Amino acid sequence: MEVGKKFRIEKVVSETDTAAYYGSGLLEVFATPSMIALMEQSAHQLAKSFLPEYQDTVGIEVHVQHKRACPVGAKVYAESELIKVEGKALTFNVIAFDEQGEIGIGTHIRYIINPAKFMNKVS
C-alpha cells in the first residue's frame, strides 16, 4: 500500500444518475449519491489494485461537499488518493470534476475485509 497513489474513474452523466431519478431532489442534474458512488468506486478500485485477491474493502465513512451541479450528458470523473493507512483502515482524499472543473471534494474511509468472512457475518 503506497500512500500518495491515485486512481481516476470517469463516466457520462445519464438519467439514472440524476437527483430526480434517486429521489434526492427533483432536478435532472448529477445527484450527490451518484457523485459519492463514483468517488467510492475510484477509492475501491485503487484499494483493489494493491490488495491480494482474497481481500477486498468496504466503505465505512464518507465526508463530501457537492459544490456544483452538472447536467445529463456531462463527462464527470472522480480521483482518489490514498492518504493514510491505519491497520485495516484506508483513508482517501476524493475529488470529483466535470469538464469545467471541480464539482465535489471530500474524504472516504474504506476497511480491508475478507469477503467470505464478512458475508458469513452478514448472513
Digit-coded pLDDT (tens) for 56-73: 999 999 999 999 999 999
Q: Residue 1: pLDDT above 90?
A: no
C-alpha cell at 96: 470529483
Q: Residue 27: pLDDT above 90?
A: yes
Chain mean pLDDT for the chain? 97
For residue 80, the model assigns a pLDDT of 98
Q: Are 96 and 104 in contact (CB under 8 A)?
A: yes
Non-local (6+) Cβ contacts of 7 within 8 A are 42, 43, 45, 46, 49, 79, 80
Indicate the SS3 state at residue 117.
Answer: helix
State mean pLDDT over 36-40. 98
Q: Enter the CATH code of domain 6-122.
A: 3.10.129.10
State mean pLDDT over 11-39. 97
The pLDDT > 70 percentage for the chain reads 100
Pairing of strands 56-66, 101-113: antiparallel
Residue 4 pLDDT grade (very low, low, confident, very high; cuts 50, 70, 90): very high
Q: Are 74 and 98 in contact (CB under 8 A)?
A: yes
pTM: 0.96
